[in-house]
Chains A and B, each alone.
Chain A
Amino acid sequence: MKTGTRMFLSSAAFGAAIASIYWYVSHETVGTMLLALIGVALLFVAAYIFLTVRGDRRQVAADAADAQPQDAAGEIIGPLPAESVWPIMLAIGVVLALDGLVYGVWLAVLGFIFATFSGVALFRESR
Chain B
Amino acid sequence: MNGTVAEAVRPPRKAQSADFVAWLVTTDHKRIGVLYMCTSFAFFLIAGILALAIRAQLAAPGLSVVGPHAFNELFTLHGTAMIFLFVAPFGLGLANYLVPLQVGAADMAFPRVNALSYWLFVAGGLTVFSGAATNGGAADAGWFAYAPLSDIRNGSGAGMDLWIVGLLMVSAASIMTGINLLATSLLYRAPGMTMWRLPVFTWEMIVTSILILMAFPPLATALAMVFVDRRLGGHFFDAAHGGNPILYQHLFWFFGHPEVYIMILPFFGVVSETIPVFSRKPVFGYVGLVLSALAIGGLSVGVWAHHMFATGAVTNSFFSAVSFLIAVPTGVKFFNWIGTMWRGQLTFPTPMLFSIGFLLNFLIGGITGVIMASPPVDFHIEDTYFIVAHLHYVLMGGSVFAIFAAIYFWFPKVFGFRLGETLGKWSFWMMLPGFNLTFFPMHVLGLWGMPRRVVTYPALAGWAHLNLLATAGSVLLALGVLLTVVNVWLSSRRPTPAGDDPWGGYSLEWVTTSPPPEHNYEWIPAIRSERPAYDMRQTAAKAP
User: Which residues of A line the B interface, CB within 8 A?
Assistant: 1, 3-4, 7, 11, 14-15, 18, 21-22, 25-26, 28, 30-31, 34-35, 38, 41-42, 49, 53, 58-59, 61-88, 90-92, 94-95, 98-99, 101-103, 122, 125-126
Contact = CB atoms under 8 A, between A and B. Distances in A.
Interface in B104-134: 106-107, 111-113, 115-116, 118-120, 122-123, 127
B195 A94 contact: no
A20 B13 CA distance: 51
Given A49-B186, A85-B25, A94 B1 contact: no
A61 B192 contact: yes
A58 B187 CA distance: 8
B16 interface: yes
**The 10 A-B residue pairs with the shortest CB-CB distance in the complex, in nearest-first order:** A73-B8, A91-B119, A87-B115, A67-B191, A3-B195, A61-B191, A62-B189, A26-B315, A87-B116, A67-B192
Contact of A80 (B107, B122, B317): B107
B8 A88 contact: no
Contacts of B189: 62
B112 A82 contact: no
B66 interface: no
Contacts of A95: 123, 127, 169
B168 interface: yes
Contact of A34 (B9, B213, B254, B527): B254
Contacts of B122: 91
A22 B61 CA distance: 45
B6 A83 contact: no
A95 B168 CA distance: 10
A79 B12 contact: yes
B254 A31 contact: yes
A113 B13 CA distance: 31
B84 to A, nearest CB: 15
B71 interface: no
A77 B2 contact: yes
B524 A69 contact: yes
A70 B6 contact: yes
Contacts of B195: 3-4, 7, 63
A72 B4 contact: yes
A63 B193 CA distance: 7
Q: Looking at A25, A101, A103, which has the most chain B CB atoms within 10 Å of its CB? A: A101
A86 B116 CA distance: 8
A71 B5 CA distance: 12
A64 B162 CA distance: 50
Contacts of A68: 191-192, 526
Interface of B: 1-4, 6-16, 22, 24-28, 106-107, 111-113, 115-116, 118-120, 122-123, 127, 158, 161-162, 165, 168-169, 172, 186-187, 189-196, 210, 213-214, 218, 227, 231, 247, 250-251, 254, 294, 297-298, 301-302, 304-305, 314-315, 317-318, 518-519, 523-528
A99 B251 CA distance: 24
Contacts of B254: 31, 34
A38 B297 CA distance: 12
Given A69-B192, A79-B13, A83-B22, 14 more contacts: A4-B186, A11-B297, A14-B298, A25-B315, A28-B315, A63-B195, A70-B6, A73-B6, A73-B7, A77-B7, A80-B519, A81-B2, A87-B119, A98-B127
B115 A126 contact: no
6 contacts: A26-B315, A66-B528, A78-B1, A83-B16, A88-B115, A125-B112
Contacts of A11: 210, 294, 297-298
Contacts of A14: 298
